[in-house]
Each structure stands twice: as C-alpha cells, then as structure tokens.
C-alpha cells in the first residue's frame, strides 16, 4: 500500500482514509483509525452520517444522469473508492459517460489507476491535485482530454469543502471552477455543518485536529453561498438525508446524526 511513507503522510490523518475506515475499508493507517475512533467516541452517529453522505452521492449521480442528461462529471475530493463508485453509477444509465476523479492522497491515486485499468465502459481519468489549486485541475491534460468543456458538466463536491478552513478561500476556489463550466452544468455538494449538534461536533473537530486533519463546519447561510448565481433545484439546501430520499425510512434518522447540508444547482 506504500510507495513511500513521506508521500503517504502516515504521521497525520487524512479525511479520505478516515472515511474509508468508518465505512469498513482497509486502506488506512493507525493515525486515521485513531482519529475515527476518537470521533466516534464523542459522536457515535459518525458511521450513520458518512453512509448518508455516500448515499446522497449515489442519488445525486442518478438524478444528474437520468433527469438532467449529464454524461460527464468532474469529481473533486474523490476519496478511496467504495463500490459503487461514481462512474459505475452513471455508466449504468449512460454507458458512454465520462468521469474525471481528483484527489490529493497517493492511496486514492493507486486505487484510481486500478479502476481505470478495469473500466471497460465510457472513460475515466484521474488528476492528482488539491481543490485549493483549481488551475492544476482545469489545465490538466486528463481534464481537457476526457471532458468536453463546451457541453454541460456535473461538478461533484462531496464532503470536501470542509477541508478548507477559510470561508473566502473555499468559496473562491469553488467559484473559479464553476465559472469555467458551460451553461447547463450542475454542482452537487455536501457541506459540513454543526448546527444540529454543536457541542458534540466541536469534540469531533477537536479529534480531527489532534490527529492532523482539518474540519470546518459552516452555517446554513454560509453553505448557501456556494450556490450563489446558480439555480438550486428542489428541495433546495437541506440536510443530506432529506434530499430526495429513496425511501421514507431515511427520514427517520435523527437530525443530530447528520452533519452536512446538501444541494444540487444548475448554472444558467
């Protein structure tokens, strides 16, 4: 699993590897497991929350392909793959669909290369880059050669903007990406919030920080700013388990167990 300990940053936790551990994966290190366990001790709902995030991604991908006709996607903050992956979801609907994955963890890169080697439908590519550096993503040959910038693109920002602590910086980098997308493109995002369990989530944030990872919670008002100038589709910005759930049972999850808002919006 290692090409070099320095590159893999095994001394600090990484959000993708914490997520992997919580979802039952094996691509994580002791520091990631420690951060996850410390977080679960203070907020036992963490696995429920993370599964809800994954389920929103699946619903968003199906919505964009089936109802909006999107057949090309830019997924920033991909994370370590957990099946079904984004390209598997969208290519079930549109076999020709194309996906560019982006992340900054070498473990994710290794998995992405394996996925691309196994993928016989549509087309996938991977950009080793950070959301904080949108120019690297947008100017990469992988982006330019895989996606057609003259046609609508689905931008997926699933559980990633909370790794940028400064609000202005986070809003700016997202805006810089949205600005280059053609009219008719969509943005699907989940944005961390502590508004439903502030005391418990303050402890989760502390646990993340103690193990070397950033976690920034945002208010509903700030979360809405990521969609400024876009047409937000129904039901608007809601807790992610409430966004067009597949079944009513999902709505029985206590609000305090979900720490992300979600929305999908269209660029006019």
Does residue 137 contact residue 76 with C-beta atoms inside 8 Å?
yes
pTM: 0.88
Q: Is 167 helix (H, G, I), strand (E, B) or coil?
A: helix
Where residue 119 falls among pLDDT bands split at 50, 70, 90?
low
How many whole angstroms separate alpha carbon 253 and alpha carbon 2?
38
Does residue 266 contact residue 186 with C-beta atoms inside 8 Å?
yes
- List residues bridging with 129 in a β-sheet: none
How many whole angstroms separate alpha carbon 127 and alpha carbon 142?
6
For residue 123, give both structure tokens.
């087309």
Nearest Cα neighbor of 109 from 32, 7, 19 is 7
Q: How many residues does the chain have?
A: 268
Where residue 15 falls among pLDDT bands split at 50, 70, 90?
confident
pLDDT in tens, 137-165: 999 999 999 999 999 999 999 999 999 99
Residue 77 burial class via C-beta count within 10 angstroms: exposed 0-12, middle 13-18, buried 19 and up: buried
> Helices in 139-225 by DSSP H: which ranges?
141-146, 167-180, 198-210, 220-225
The CATH code of the domain at 5-266 is 3.40.50.150
Q: What is the DSSP string of 34-77?
A: HHHHHHHHH-TTHHHHHHHHHHHHHHHHHHHHHTT---EEEEES
Q: Any idea where the domains of the chain sit in the sequence?
A: 5-266
Largest Cα separation within the chain, whole Å, is 48
Mean pLDDT confidence for 119-133: 83
Nearest Cα neighbor of 45 from 268, 267, 263, 253 is 253
Tokens 């590519």 belong to 125
Q: Is 28 helix (H, G, I), strand (E, B) or coil?
A: coil
How many whole angstroms separate alpha carbon 240 and alpha carbon 174?
19
pLDDT in tens, 48-95: 998 999 999 999 999 999 999 999 999 998 877 666 889 889 999 999
pLDDT recorded at residue 117: 54
Q: Which residue has the higher pLDDT, 193 or 252?
A: 193
Number of Cβ within 10 Å of residue 2's Cβ equals: 12
Nearest Cα neighbor of 159 from 98, 94, 80 is 80
């Amino acid at each position: 699993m290692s090409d070099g300990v320095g590159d893999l940053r095994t001394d600090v936790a990484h959000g993708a590897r914490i997520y992997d551990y919580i979802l039952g994966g094996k691509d994580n290190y002791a520091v990631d497991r420690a951060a996850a366990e410390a977080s679960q001790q203070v907020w036992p709902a963490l696995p429920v929350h993370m599964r809800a995030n994954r389920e929103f991604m699946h619903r968003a991908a199906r919505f964009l392909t089936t109802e909006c006709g999107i057949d090309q996607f830019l997924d920033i903050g991909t994370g370590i793959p957990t099946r079904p992956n984004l390209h598997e979801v969208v290519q079930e609907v549109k076999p020709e669909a194309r996906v560019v994955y982006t992340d900054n963890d070498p473990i994710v890169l290794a998995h992405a290369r394996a996925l691309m080697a196994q993928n016989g439908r549509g087309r996938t590519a991977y950009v080793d880059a950070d959301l904080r550096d949108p120019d690297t993503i947008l100017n990469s040959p992988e982006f330019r050669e895989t996606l057609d910038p003259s046609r609508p693109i689905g931008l997926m920002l699933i559980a990633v903007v909370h790794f940028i602590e400064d609000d202005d910086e986070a809003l700016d980098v997202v805006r810089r990406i949205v600005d280059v997308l053609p009219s008719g493109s969509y943005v699907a995002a989940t944005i961390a919030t502590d508004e439903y369990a502030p005391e418990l989530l303050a402890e989760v944030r502390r646990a993340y920080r103690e193990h070397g990872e950033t976690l920034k919670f945002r208010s509903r008002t700030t979360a809405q700013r990521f969609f400024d100038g876009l047409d937000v589709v129904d039901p608007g910005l809601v807790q992610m388990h409430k966004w067009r759930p597949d079944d009513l049972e999902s709505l029985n999850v206590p609000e305090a167990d979900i720490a992300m808002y979600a929305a999908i919006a269209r660029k006019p």
